[in-house]
Amino acid sequence: MLGSTVLLFSNLLFANAIPTHQPGLPLQKRETPWVWNAGGLSEYEIHISCNSTESAQLRRALNESITLAQHAKDHILRFGNSSEVFVKYFGNNTTTAEPAGWYDKIINGDKNGVLFRCDDIDNKCYQDGWAGHWRGDIAPDQTVICPLSFESRWPLEAMCGHGYTVASGKDAQWFGADLLHRLYHTQKIAEGTVDHYADTQEEILSLAIQSPGEAVRNSATLRHFAVEVYAYDIAVPGEGCSGTLTVSSAVSASPTVSQSSTPAATMQGEVTTSAFQVASVSATTVKSATTECHTHGTGEVHCS
């Protein structure tokens, strides 16, 4: 009898502990609705030191950076390493996931703290040919854009104009591609992994053969690939502006890098400046719009 009484009393306590809802009464609402991505930032920040004209140009160029990254990612997702351009820049039997991921960081990564400013806070813009710089250890997610960038960079609509070819031109001539470079210096985007393993077109093509593991995280490779596939797929469909490049013995696979005349897949050890069937374009000497300079975290100044 005593055991039955204790059991009944315990059941009553348990029943009273269960929250109940009486018909006609409103359910209790959470005071602050849960938003999983609260605090995230979807646009790159532009510092108040940039005037309205500079801000407008920077915003447009940043949107062009995203456009380049988005198409490069789309091209990889569509063709994978069956794309000759992919093989040309990233090597044979290379993972497609890593370069696609680095492009996605530009597009969809959280942009908190990534800041572009125009106030020359480090007093470097006075130097000849100085178009901007990454602030390095002082502020690893900040970039200073100097007046020369606003005066000389080209918009994406002009891709393949001005006598430009990927083989002989500098990607920094396109404002959107230049900002890709600067974004891949920031800790937020590059995570200390995307770096300068090769810079010139000749070095980039060599890296794809000799060290594809570095090619997929090489800043210049990511930019040149994005520019080339955008030029061929979007800007001048089916033609592009790859150009031709005669290289030194540094590229051991072939002494001459030339355009492909057929759409056949690139064979191992063979390097082409175009992954598509295009007419041969003579190498054109293109005068650089600016010399792009920046400072590495080690204090080393890099100009190209």
Query: Up-side HSE of residue 229: CA atoms within 13 Å toward CB?
Result: 26
User: 20 or 58: whose pLDDT is higher?
Assistant: 58
Mean confidence (pLDDT) of the chain: 81
pLDDT in tens, 161-219: 999 999 999 999 999 999 999 999 999 999 999 999 999 999 999 999 999 999 999 99
Task: Yes or no: say if 101 and 123 are a contact pair by the CB < 8 Å rule.
Answer: no
State which amino acid sits at residue 110: D
pLDDT tens per residue, range 129-146: 999 999 999 999 999 999
Of 281, 241, 276, residue with least CA distance to 84: 276
- For 130-143, b where at least 16 C-beta lie within 10 A, e where not — what string? bbbbbbbeebbbbb
Non-local CB neighbours of 93 within 8 Å, separated by 6+ positions: 81, 212
For 25-53, write each residue's pLDDT tens digit. Answer: 555 666 788 999 999 999 999 999 999 99
Q: How confident is the model at residue 14 (pLDDT cuts 50, 70, 90)?
A: very low
Instruction: Encode pLDDT of 64-103 as tens digits.
Output: 999 999 999 999 999 999 999 999 999 998 999 999 999 9
pLDDT at residue 293 in the model: 55
Q: Tens of pLDDT along 238-253?
A: 999 999 986 554 444 3
Q: Are strands 115-117 and 142-145 parallel, antiparallel or unpaired?
A: parallel
What is the spatial distance between Cα 83 and Cα 243, in angstroms, rounded to a whole number?
18
Cα distances from 231 to residues 6, 26, 110, 159, 242, in angstroms, run 82, 59, 28, 6, 8
pLDDT for residue 245: 86
Whether the pLDDT of residue 234 is over 60: the answer is: yes
- State the amino acid at position 118 in one-letter form: C
Q: Which DSSP letter does residue 11 get? A: H
Structure tokens given for 253: 């696979």
Among 1-5, 231-235, 300-304, where is mean pLDDT lowest? 1-5
pLDDT at 22: 58
pLDDT of residue 281: 28
Cα separation of the two ends of the chain? 93
**Predicted local distance difference test score (pLDDT) of residue 190:** 98
